Amino acid sequence: MKKVLILGSSGSIGVNTLNVIRNFPDKFEVAALTVNSRIDILEEQVNEFKPVLVAIKDEKAAKIFRQKIGNKCTVLSGTDGLIKAAAEADYDILIGAMVGFAGLAPTIEAVKRGKRIALANKETLVV
C-alpha cells in the first residue's frame, strides 16, 4: 500500500489522481491533500478519502474549513502549511499538481526526505 500526498487535489490532475486511487484502493491510500482555496471540493475529498492532514494555502479559506470539518483531520494553512505537509506527513509519493510556483517549496521538502516525486507541472522543473 502506497501512501500519497497530492499537492493541488482540487484541480483536474489532482481530481484524476484521486480517481485512480479510488479504482485501486488496495494499492493506494491518501495521506494528505493540499489546495489553494477550493474548500468545497476539499471537503468532499476529505469525507471520501479520509486523509490525516490537509493544507490550504488561502488563510481565510482554511479558517472556514476548520470550522466546517471539525476534527476529521489536521488542517494546516498558508505557504508554510504546504511546506509543513510535505515535510511532516507520512507518505511515500508526492504528486505535484499545483499551478505555478506554489508547489516548489513543498516538492523540495519531499526531495529532502527522499520521497518519490510525480510532477505534473513544469514550473517546479524550470526554477
Q: Which has the higher per-residue pLDDT, 122 or 114?
A: 114
How far apart (Å, rounded) are the C-alpha atoms in residues 31 and 11? Answer: 18
Query: Residue 51: its pLDDT value, please?
Result: 98
How far apart (Å, rounded) are the C-alpha atoms in residues 2 and 27? Answer: 6
Over range 94-111, report the average pLDDT.
91
Query: Residue 69: its pLDDT value, please?
Result: 93
Place 101 in a pLDDT band, splitting at 50, 70 and 90: confident
Residue found by looking up cell 489546495 in the block: 35
* Domains of the chain listed by start with CATH number: 2-126 (3.40.50.720)
Query: Residue 24: its pLDDT value, please?
Result: 98
pLDDT single digits (tens) 75-90: 999 999 999 999 999 9
Query: Residue 127: its pLDDT value, please?
Result: 65
How far apart (Å, rounded) are the C-alpha atoms in residues 70 and 105? Answer: 28
pLDDT single digits (tens) 1-54: 999 999 999 999 999 999 999 999 999 999 999 999 999 999 999 999 999 999
Query: Residue 74: its pLDDT value, please?
Result: 97
**8 Å CB contact between 123 and 101:** yes
Cell of 42: 476539499
Over range 65-84, report the average pLDDT.
96
Cα dist. 45→31, 51, 52 in Å?
Answer: 12, 9, 12
What beta strand segments (E) does 22-109 contain? 28-35, 53-56, 74-77, 93-96
End-to-end alpha carbon distance in the chain: 32
Task: Tell me, rounded to whole angstroms, the distance of Cα 120 from its chain centroid.
Answer: 13
